[in-house]
């Protein structure tokens, strides 16, 4: 079973399986698609508190769908008065800035009161120029889109990206989500035409929410296999130590950097680069960096740890290539794009056995899966890889093959189209306008 294939209880029923007319690609039907991402704009600079994997996913998916002949409009909230209403992202993809709430940055957990305004604006736009299908990303986009499609009769596909039940379970009182999040997520799941989960662990969580598994398909996130590849420049090593570990991601406690620091104490002659967070000139003032530096001091590894801060997108692949092993020790991970990027660069991954990493990291072929919050298990898995260069090379090569066969954006877009085909085949056509969505 590939990661594009669902669990037996969540089969996505692709167009070919059902004998449906194909959409996209040579000879297929061209669609006007509306992708809605209320807080995660494909134009946003990455690395902020609310800017990360979803921004990349929406931008890449929109682009890959356009490559297959579709006309795509991405709707995101206007968070600055200087933003134009429309921005061409590339041929076939346009970003629309929706006036909902103040035209300024607002933390995503405070955006729910503005989703009715967001949805009403979408409904007005779509009554005049309806898309063939709406695909909402994240639960608040789903809330806005459900309001809009109820007013217009348009078909709706939804991707959660993260679930409130999982966040509440792991963060407890530290969870800043609105208290009604889980209830509204369930409302979106019941009201949409189809749910596209990004991993099989998410399907299990959806069944626990009593959402119908028969309307759920699995399509993973993708990775740019040209940007992330084994050949190419590698970031220089300046620490003078034989081995380097790299951990990449937002600097929040659930990403497990503290676990990596504790493991480093059991890994002599090894340096750790922690990549992410604020820009390099503001790293020293960051509270999480200060907490982690104190943890490194107490563990006796402060001289072998470096915090790079946030880096430009084109610096990520060289940093990954410079690693002997890439660490992904999150407490929980709804999907996790970093393991794919590391595997695409031909590097072995040691990841916690949670969420989407259970799908992406093939243990033992491409790396190792270890229990979350277990420094001893993390260190043991890393030590075995560091001691065997041939094993590292084999895992890296297998990881690259796995990414090429399953996680390229063209493949993800084709699998997403199959989900769209299921929905469109089950509903009568309600659109007839021409032009962009």
Q: What is the pLDDT of residues 4-23, one digit of tens each?
A: 433 333 333 333 344 455 67
Task: Please state the rounded mean pLDDT for residues 154-163.
Answer: 97
Q: What is the pLDDT of residues 46-91, one digit of tens each?
A: 444 444 578 789 999 999 999 999 999 999 999 999 999 999 999 9
Ranges assigned E (strand) in 312-421:
325-328, 349-352, 367-370
CB 100 within 8 A of CB 85: no
Domain span at residue 204 reads 8-222+408-426
Number of domains making up the chain: 2
Which residues are registered as beta bridge partners of 352? 370
Residue 88 within a domain: yes
pTM: 0.87
Q: Let me know whether 413 and 289 are in one domain.
A: no
325-328 and 243-248 as β-strands: parallel, antiparallel, unpaired? Answer: parallel
Residue 231 within a domain: no
Q: Let me know whether 216 and 269 are in one domain.
A: no
Per DSSP, 237 falls in state P
Per DSSP, 135 falls in state E
Cα 370 to Cα 71: distance, rounded to the nearest angstrom? 42
Q: Let me know whether 375 and 412 are in one domain.
A: no
Residue 233 within a domain: no
Task: Please state the rounded mean pLDDT for residues 23-33.
Answer: 79
Task: Please state the rounded mean pLDDT for residues 186-190.
Answer: 98
Q: Let me know whether 271 and 199 are in one domain.
A: no
Q: How many CB atoms lie within 10 A of CB 232?
A: 12
Q: Let me know whether 35 and 165 are in one domain.
A: yes
Coil vs helix vs strand at 156:
strand
CATH classification of the domain holding 159 = 3.40.50.2000
Would you state the pLDDT for residue 23? 72
Q: What is the pLDDT of residues 315-329, one digit of tens each?
A: 999 999 999 999 999
Residue 232 within a domain: no
DSSP for 375-397, written as a single string: HHHHHHHHHHHHT-HHHHHHHHH
- With a pLDDT cut of 90, the percent of the chain lying above it is 80
Would you state the pLDDT for residue 3? 37
Q: Let me know whether 253 and 183 are in one domain.
A: no
Region of poorest pLDDT, from 132-141, 217-226, 246-255: 246-255
93-98 and 71-77 as β-strands: parallel, antiparallel, unpaired? Answer: parallel
Residue 237 within a domain: no
Mean pLDDT of the chain: 90
Q: Let me know whether 207 and 258 are in one domain.
A: no
CB 203 within 8 A of CB 183: no
Residue 235 within a domain: no
Coil vs helix vs strand at 196:
strand
Is the pLDDT reported for residue 393 higher than 90? yes
CB 364 within 8 A of CB 340: no
Alpha-carbon radius of gyration of the chain = 22
CB 430 within 8 A of CB 130: yes
Q: Let me know whether 170 and 274 are in one domain.
A: no
Region of poorest pLDDT, from 119-123, 273-277, 389-393, 426-430: 426-430
Length of the chain: 437
Residue 33: its H or E element:
strand 32-36
Q: Let me know whether 107 and 64 are in one domain.
A: yes
**Residue written as token pair 């001091």:** 297
Would you state the pLDDT for residue 199? 95
């Amino acid at each position: 079973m590939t990661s594009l294939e669902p669990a037996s209880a969540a089969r996505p029923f692709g167009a070919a399986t059902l004998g449906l007319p194909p959409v996209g690609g040579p000879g297929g039907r061209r669609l006007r698609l509306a992708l809605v991402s209320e807080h995660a704009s494909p134009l946003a600079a990455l690395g902020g508190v609310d800017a990360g994997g979803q921004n990349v996913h929406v931008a890449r998916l929109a682009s890959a769908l356009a490559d297959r002949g579709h006309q795509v409009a991405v709707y995101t909230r206007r968070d600055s008065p200087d933003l134009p209403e429309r921005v061409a992202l590339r041929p076939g993809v346009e970003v629309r800035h929706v006036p909902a709430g103040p035209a300024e940055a607002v933390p995503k957990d405070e955006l729910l009161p503005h989703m009715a305004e967001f949805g009403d604006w979408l409904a007005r736009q779509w009554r005049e120029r309806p898309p063939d299908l709406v695909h909402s990303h994240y639960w608040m986009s789903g809330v806005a889109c459900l309001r809009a499609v109820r007013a217009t009769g348009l078909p709706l596909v939804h991707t959660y990206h993260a679930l409130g039940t999982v966040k509440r379970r792991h963060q407890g009182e530290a969870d800043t989500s609105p208290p009604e999040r889980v209830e509204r997520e369930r409302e979106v799941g019941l009201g949409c035409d189809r749910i596209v989960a990004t991993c099989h662990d998410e399907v299990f969580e959806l069944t626990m929410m009593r959402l119908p598994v028969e309307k759920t398909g699995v399509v993973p996130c993708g990775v740019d296999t040209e940007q992330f590849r084994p050949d190419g420049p590698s970031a220089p090593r300046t620490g003078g130590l034989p081995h380097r570990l790299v951990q990449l991601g937002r600097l929040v406690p659930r990403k497990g950097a503290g676990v990596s620091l504790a493991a480093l104490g059991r890994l002599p002659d090894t340096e750790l680069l922690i990549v992410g967070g604020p820009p390099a000139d503001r790293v020293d003032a960051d509270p999480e960096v200060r907490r982690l530096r104190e943890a490194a001091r107490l563990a006796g590894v402060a001289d072998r740890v470096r915090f790079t801060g946030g880096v430009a997108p084109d610096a990520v692949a060289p940093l990954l290539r410079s690693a002997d092993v890439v660490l992904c020790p999150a407490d929980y991970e709804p999907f996790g794009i970093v393991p794919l990027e590391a595997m695409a660069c031909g590097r072995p991954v040691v990841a916690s056995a949670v969420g989407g990493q259970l799908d992406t990291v093939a243990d033992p072929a491409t790396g190792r899966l270890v229990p979350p919050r277990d420094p001893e298990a993390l260190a043991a898995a890393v030590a075995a890889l560091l001691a065997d260069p041939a094993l590292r090379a084999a895992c890296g090569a297998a990881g690259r093959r796995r990414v090429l066969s399953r996680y390229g954006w063209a493949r993800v877009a084709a699998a997403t189209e199959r989900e769209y085909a299921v929905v469109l085949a089950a509903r009568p056509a309600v659109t007839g306008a021409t032009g962009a969505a």
